[in-house]
Amino acid sequence: MTATPTAEQIEQTRLVETDLLELIGRLQAEGIDLRVVMAGVATATATIMLNAWGAEAVPVWFARQSAMTMHLARPNA
């Protein structure tokens, strides 16, 4: 994805988000602890990054995600 996503990429992102949230909800409904689900999501994400772009891309990707969401941890964000 580029720095400025296309309308198609935005729609595809929404589709992926919807499907993942549905899957996570289903796993929780089956009794799997959310912490376990999130650990699986993180591990799968790291594996995808590793296979697509190599080991050096993994920490960079997670650091960028952290930086983009850091404001959520601030009160009254």
| Residue 69 belongs to a domain | yes
- Number of domains making up the chain: 1
d(CA 28, CA 35): 10
Predicted TM-score of the model (pTM): 0.79
| Residue 61 belongs to a domain | yes
Residue 23: left if φ>0, alpha if ψ -120 to 50, beta else—which one? alpha
Report the candidate in 64, 65, 60 with the shortest Cα–Cα distance to residue 38: 65
Task: Determine the average pLDDT of the residues in 41-70.
Answer: 96
Task: Determine the average pLDDT of the residues in 51-64.
Answer: 96
* Separation in Å, CA 28 to CA 10, 53, 75: 27, 31, 28
Question: What pLDDT is recorded for position 55?
Answer: 97
| Residue 6 belongs to a domain | no
Domain that holds residue 31: 11-73
Question: What pLDDT is recorded for position 18?
Answer: 98
| Residue 27 belongs to a domain | yes
| Residue 17 belongs to a domain | yes
